[in-house]
Structure 1
Amino acid sequence: MELLLVILIGVLYAAGIYLMFRRSMVRLLLGLILLGNGANLLIFLMGDIAKGKPPIIKAGASVFTDVYADPVPQSLILTAIVISFGLQSFAIILLKRIYLLTGSDDLDTLNTHDKDI
């Protein structure tokens, strides 16, 4: 299972970087989304995949005695998902506005100073 996740993370990173090198703004945004998902999977994988109980210490005990699932990577991933959703929604609206004003999503045509955005 972990080897499959490592391969998937590599594919997401490679596809994200490849899309970010394209000239289209939409592909740039899709590349950022893929990189974000790859980073989330990497955090999940580094948090160790273990089936276990919730991290609750029983009454009268001072340490964990059973195998428990670490909640920190899960909370980091949840926070990253929420932040990336906000960033993606802002970027989609910004891309739509730029496309309506310029008529193109090519990054090379945006370098002109003829139009005020």
Structure 2
Amino acid sequence: MGFGHTAGMFAEDGAVEIDQVVERFGMSKGQFAETVGLAPETLRRTSRLTAAKTQARITEMLEIIARITGWAGGEKQAMAWYRAEPIPAFGGRTAESLVKDGKATAVRDYLDHLAMGGFA
């Protein structure tokens, strides 16, 4: 997938390796499902886990985590930022809230803006 910090989180076919992901972040599948705005059953049933919409949502979250891992101080700190840090440019909403609403592109654009020296 090309995200430097996500080695081992994707199978050769590009599908998310959910067991690797939850272990890496120290979360249960239920906690992880909540983080990406999915029902817990979604991650327990192969047919739902491999659905394009599910894979896209998880990939969006992992891409955002990968982008901020360096300045956050690690993956777990990046996940904490993703889940809890209010973003002033989005009215105090968190990245998690925005991704759940299908606004991952806006979060990525915001992070690109910051990376280019823009202000929050």
Provide the TM-score with structure 2 as the length reference: 0.30
Provide the TM-score with structure 1 as the length reference: 0.30
Rg (Cα) greater in structure: 1
